[in-house]
């Protein structure tokens, strides 16, 4: 059988606050296969965001190993990690994180621009994405001219434009009302249906319940995994 | 990131905060404009002085009666404390010097010129036919004083352009009889207007034969003897020979001062060149200040855009890309400031030239290049620290910041 998409073993993440130590993650072991739909839940401060940041290579563990697609990524240089983020990982944030001075289309194109993809290909892929996400008539609007739901759709279009293997979403519906939130969730689930691995951090039990696999975290450790 | 994308990204970031950008560009522009205008003034002064001197004539050696004080104590001077006259005979003797091409004695005094009821006080210069060659003067009308024996002069005069205009207006001047002091002289020529000549403006002078002038002013001594050396290389030999000839004629006493135009020019050139360099340096300080401003503004910008930097990292930007983006922005702002300042400085210099047409206020090329270069380099150098800070931001913390 092929190696799992994500394999964490013995992951520790310790923050130092003055003299005290905060163990955000303790001896975490976790495997996620390609194409899974995983919800990460748990009380505030239980380490959900820390886990997601580690999975997205925005943060490094103090101990343990992380293999992504069979490759140990914890030992990679910063440049190599940036490349992995660019090509394999898409982020969706609670507060959207769109660049305010850029138009919707430019925000969607940003990962390709950073990766140095040729303008012609960029334009074609952005046009297709704007079509797919129902944003075609909003392409030249700036983020402050868009509704919350539209902003998150732009963010999701941006997260998928490089065709990543995994999408990491930290409370993607946290800033949206229920109706728009559901719309965004259906969009993400649609991507998962096409084969993209989806990992969503959420406080919302209803949202978490939709995932095929649910992880419950508490005090930096995995308390319950619906797959075991 | 591709270069055009990098440029567009930096441009959008710069124009995203117009007030900040305008202030920065202005600060840089003022620095560069200061360099351009101040060096234009300094170099203009240098050129003005040199032009003035050059208009006296080229390869010139000037003999003045009296020993210059810089010569130190001279026992000869102590006994005869009034220097010997510098005479027309002395001047004529200088023609024997092998390095000398031309000699023109000058005696000066003031007198009145009158014609047809019009009266004016003028400077009268007694000289010889060689004067126009030594001083490279052009005639507007007629001819200069006739050549011939320096000790006898015809009753003729040559007038400058201003004198001509004031005494004759629109009437013809050539061939008219005028009264200068107690003499009646015929106008044989009018000099072309020059408007230049350090200390002596030929436009306002009446030239008469030197013998006539000495009789009019009842004096034997000359004001100056202008000596033209055969070439540039002959200036120093001419100076030595002239000094020696006069010394022999004055019983071994060195009681004249011989100066060369070259030496005077070189001194002024050095002095004013140093002055220009000095003001350029002072102006460059304002560029350094602008550079520090660039750094501070960029640092503030990094802080304001922390979340954006975190996002760029999450989207796969390397530290190098982020560094390049911020450096490009700093460089772009500096370049815009430098170009704007360059235009501003040239406009300032043009305004000075417009207000004072005689003053050649052109900024020297080296100063313009140095000014633009310094602006760019300071902008980039002071942009490095903010760019590095941006590149080193921890993405998790940057993203959590609102
Ligand atoms: N940079 C940091 N420095 C110090 N402590 C940190 C840092 N980041 C996180 N922590 C601590 O690590 C623990 C886990 O934080 P984390 O953000 O992962 O929680 P979370 O499960 O995402 O909570 P929430 O549901 O409120 O978002 C918390 O106790 C938090 O205070
Ligand atoms: Mg969190």
Which pLDDT score is estimated for B3? 92
- CB contact (8 A) between residue B1 and residue A116: yes
Here the tokens at position B231 are 């070439």
Q: Contacts of residue B311 in chain A, CB cutoff 8 Å?
A: 97, 99
Q: How many residues does chain A have?
A: 228
Q: What angle do CA B243, B246, B251 make, to 5 degrees?
A: 120
Here the tokens at position B383 are 């942009």
Can you name the CATH fold of A6-225? Rossmann fold (3.40.50)
Which residues 319-338 of B are in CB contact (within 8 Å) with A?
Answer: 319-321
Task: Tell me the mean pLDDT in the region B256-267.
Answer: 80
Here the tokens at position B203 are 């436009």
Which pLDDT score is estimated for A1? 53
> For the CA atoms of B165, B166, B170, B171, what is the dihedral angle to 10 degrees?
-110
Rounded Cα–Cα distance for residues B394 and A11 (Å): 20
Residue B3 touches partner A, C-beta closer than 8 Å = no
Given the DSSP bridges, would you call strands B256-260 and A89-92 parallel, antiparallel or unpaired? Answer: unpaired
Rounded Cα–Cα distance for residues B20 and B25 (Å): 9
How does the average pLDDT of chain B come out, rounded? 87
B363: Cβ contacts below 8 Å, ≥ 6 apart: B35, B36, B37, B39, B40, B43, B345, B346, B349
Residue B49: exposure state from Cβ atoms within 10 A (0-12, 13-18, ≥19)? middle
The answer, yes or no, to whether residue B71 has pLDDT greater than 50, is no
- What pLDDT tens digit does each residue of chain A (228 aa) get? 578 999 999 999 999 988 999 999 999 999 999 999 999 999 999 999 999 999 999 999 999 999 999 999 999 999 999 999 999 999 999 999 999 999 999 999 999 999 999 999 999 999 999 999 999 999 999 999 999 999 999 999 999 999 999 999 999 999 999 999 999 999 999 999 999 999 999 998 989 999 999 999 999 999 999 887
Which pLDDT score is estimated for A216? 95
Nearest to A163 by CA among A127, A101, A222, A111: A111
**N-to-C CA span, chain B:** 26
Q: Contacts of residue A59 in chain B, CB cutoff 8 Å?
A: 395-396
Per residue in A167-188, pLDDT (tens digit) is 999 999 999 999 999 999 999 9
Residues lining ligand 1, CB < 6 A?
Answer: A 15, 17, 22, 24, 42, 44-50
Contact call for residues B375 and B31 (beta carbons, < 8 A): yes
The interface pTM score, or ipTM, of the predicted complex is 0.94
Partner residues linked to A197 by β-bridges: A166
* Ligand 1, pocket-test mutation among A24, A169, A215, most atoms within 8 A of CB: A24
- CB contact (8 A) between residue A116 and residue B2: yes
In which element (H, E) is residue A8 found? Answer: strand A6-17
Q: Which atom of ligand 1 is nearest to the CA of A46?
A: 21
- CB contact (8 A) between residue A158 and residue B395: no
Residue nearest to atom 18 of ligand 1 (CA): A47
Rounded Cα–Cα distance for residues B202 and B187 (Å): 16
Residue nearest to atom 25 of ligand 1 (CA): A44
Contact call for residues A196 and A160 (beta carbons, < 8 A): yes
The highest-confidence range among A191-195, B25-29, B53-57, B273-277, by mean pLDDT, is A191-195
B55 band by pLDDT with thresholds 50, 70 and 90 = low
- CB contact (8 A) between residue A56 and residue B314: yes
For residue A47, which ligand has an atom nearest its CA?
1
Rounded Cα–Cα distance for residues A186 and A205 (Å): 16
Task: Tell me the mean pLDDT in the region B258-267.
Answer: 79
Contact call for residues B138 and B181 (beta carbons, < 8 A): no
Residue A163: exposure state from Cβ atoms within 10 A (0-12, 13-18, ≥19)? exposed
Q: What is the pTM of this model?
A: 0.73
Within 10 Å of residue A62's Cβ, how many Cβ atoms? Answer: 12
Give CA separation, B396 vs A45, B4, B392, in Å: 15, 29, 12
Task: Tell me the mean pLDDT in the region B178-204.
Answer: 82
Task: Tell me the mean pLDDT in the region B58-76.
Answer: 68
Q: Which residue has the higher pLDDT, B253 or B53?
A: B253
* Percentage of chain B exceeding pLDDT 90: 44
Q: Contacts of residue A113 in chain B, CB cutoff 8 Å?
A: 1-2, 5, 9
Contact call for residues A180 and A149 (beta carbons, < 8 A): yes
Residue nearest to atom 2 of ligand 1 (CA): A15
* Percentage of chain B exceeding pLDDT 70: 93
Q: Which atom of ligand 1 is nearest to the CA of A201?
A: 22
> Please, what is the angle between helix B319-355 and helix B365-392, to 10°?
150
Residue B2 touches partner A, C-beta closer than 8 Å = yes
Q: Contacts of residue A91 in chain B, CB cutoff 8 Å?
A: 314-315
**N-to-C CA span, chain A:** 19
CA-based nearest residue in chain B for residue A82: B316
For residue A216, which ligand has an atom nearest its CA?
1
Given the DSSP bridges, would you call strands A20-32 and B60-65 parallel, antiparallel or unpaired? Answer: unpaired
Which pLDDT score is estimated for B340? 94
The answer, yes or no, to whether residue B78 has pLDDT greater than 50, is no
From the CA atom positions of chain B, what is the Rg in Å?
A: 33
Per residue in B325-378, pLDDT (tens digit) is 999 999 999 999 999 999 999 999 999 999 988 888 899 888 888 888 888 888
Contact call for residues B138 and B193 (beta carbons, < 8 A): no
Tell me the H-state helices in A89-167.
104-115, 119-132, 148-160
Half-sphere exposure at residue A173, Cβ-oriented, CA atoms within 13 angstroms: 21
The ranges assigned to domains in chain A are 6-225
Which pLDDT score is estimated for B211? 92
Residue B124: phi and psi, rounded to 5, are: -110, 130
Secondary structure (DSSP) of B238-269: HHHHHHHHHHHHTTT---EEEEEHHHHHHHHH
Which pLDDT score is estimated for A167? 97
Which residue is it, tokens 């003005």? B48
The ranges assigned to domains in chain B are 3-52+266-400, 67-254
The answer, yes or no, to whether residue B79 has pLDDT greater than 80, is no
Q: Contacts of residue A99 in chain B, CB cutoff 8 Å?
A: 308, 311
Which pLDDT score is estimated for A98? 95
Rounded Cα–Cα distance for residues B208 and A168 (Å): 103
Within 10 Å of residue B73's Cβ, how many Cβ atoms? Answer: 6
- CB contact (8 A) between residue B320 and residue A116: no
Which pLDDT score is estimated for B77? 46
Rounded Cα–Cα distance for residues B262 and A104 (Å): 71
DSSP assignment, residue A172? T
Which pLDDT score is estimated for B178? 93
Rounded Cα–Cα distance for residues B67 and B257 (Å): 5
Within 10 Å of residue B264's Cβ, how many Cβ atoms? Answer: 17
Which pLDDT score is estimated for B196? 57
Task: Tell me the mean pLDDT in the region B147-174.
Answer: 89
Task: Tell me the mean pLDDT in the region B93-120.
Answer: 91
Which pLDDT score is estimated for A228? 79
Of A58, A78, A95, the CB nearest to B314: A58
Q: How many residues does chain B have?
A: 402
Q: What angle do CA A98, A101, A106 make, to 5 degrees?
A: 65
């Amino acid at each position: 059988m092929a190696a799992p998409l994500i394999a964490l073993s013995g992951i520790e993440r310790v923050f130092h606050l003055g003299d005290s130590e905060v163990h955000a993650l303790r001896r975490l072991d976790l495997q996620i296969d390609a194409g899974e739909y995983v919800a990460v839940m748990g009380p505030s401060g239980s380490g959900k965001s820390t886990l997601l940041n580690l999975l997205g290579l925005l943060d490094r563990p103090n101990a343990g190993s992380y293999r992504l697609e069979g490759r140990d990524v914890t030992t990679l240089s910063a440049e190599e990690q940036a490349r992995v983020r660019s090509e394999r990982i898409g982020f969706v944030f609670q507060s959207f994180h769109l660049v305010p001075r850029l138009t919707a289309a430019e925000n969607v194109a940003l990962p390709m621009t950073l990766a140095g993809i040729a303008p012609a290909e960029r334009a074609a892929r952005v046009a297709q994405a704007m079509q797919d996400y129902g944003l075609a008539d909003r392409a030249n609007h700036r983020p402050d001219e868009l509704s919350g739901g539209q902003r998150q759709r732009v963010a999701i279009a941006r997260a998928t434009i490089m065709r990543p293997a995994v999408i990491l979403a930290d409370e993607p519906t946290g800033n949206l009302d229920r109706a728009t939130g559901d719309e965004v969730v259906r969009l993400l689930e649609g991507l998962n249906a096409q084969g993209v691995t989806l990992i969503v951090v959420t406080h919302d039990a209803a949202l978490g319940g939709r995932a095929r696999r649910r992880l419950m975290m508490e005090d930096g450790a995995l308390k319950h995994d619906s797959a075991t | 990131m591709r270069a055009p994308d990098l440029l567009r990204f930096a441009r959008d970031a710069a124009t995203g905060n117009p007030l900040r950008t305008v202030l920065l560009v202005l600060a840089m522009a003022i620095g560069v404009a200061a360099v351009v205008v101040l060096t234009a003034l300094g170099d203009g002064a240098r050129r003005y002085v040199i032009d003035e001197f050059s208009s006296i004539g080229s390869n010139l050696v000037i003999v003045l009666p009296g020993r210059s004080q810089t010569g130190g104590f001279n026992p000869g001077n102590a006994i005869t404390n009034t220097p010997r006259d510098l005479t027309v005979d002395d001047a004529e003797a200088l023609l024997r010097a092998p390095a000398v091409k031309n000699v023109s004695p000058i005696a000066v005094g003031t007198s009145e010129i009158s014609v047809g009821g019009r009266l004016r006080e003028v400077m009268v210069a007694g000289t010889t036919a060689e004067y126009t060659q030594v001083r490279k003067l052009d005639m507007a009308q007629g001819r200069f004083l006739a050549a011939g024996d320096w000790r006898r002069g015809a009753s003729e005069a040559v007038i400058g352009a201003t004198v001509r205009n004031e005494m004759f207006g629109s009437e013809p001047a050539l061939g008219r009889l005028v009264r200068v002091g107690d003499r009646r002289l015929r106008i044989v020529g009018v000099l072309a207007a020059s408007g230049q000549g350090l200390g002596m403006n030929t436009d306002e002078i009446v030239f008469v034969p030197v013998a006539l002038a000495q009789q009019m002013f009842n004096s034997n001594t000359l004001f100056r003897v202008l000596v033209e050396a055969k070439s540039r290389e002959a200036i120093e030999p001419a100076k030595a020979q002239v000094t020696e000839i006069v010394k022999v004629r004055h019983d071994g006493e060195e009681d004249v001062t011989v100066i060369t135009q070259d030496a005077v020019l070189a001194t002024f050139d050095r002095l004013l060149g140093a002055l220009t360099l000095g003001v350029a340096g002072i102006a460059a300080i304002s560029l350094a200040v602008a550079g520090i401003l660039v750094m501070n503004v960029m640092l503030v910008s990094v802080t304001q855009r922390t979340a954006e930097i975190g996002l760029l990292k999450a989207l796969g930007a390397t530290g190098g890309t982020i560094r390049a983006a911020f450096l490009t922005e700093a460089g772009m702002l500096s370049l815009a400031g430098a170009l704007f300042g360059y235009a501003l400085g040239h406009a300032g210099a043009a305004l000075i030239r417009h207000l004072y047409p005689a003053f050649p206020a052109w900024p020297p090329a080296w100063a313009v290049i140095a000014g633009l270069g310094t602006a760019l380099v300071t902008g980039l150098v002071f942009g490095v620290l903010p760019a590095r800070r941006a590149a080193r931001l921890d993405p998790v913390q940057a993203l959590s910041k609102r």
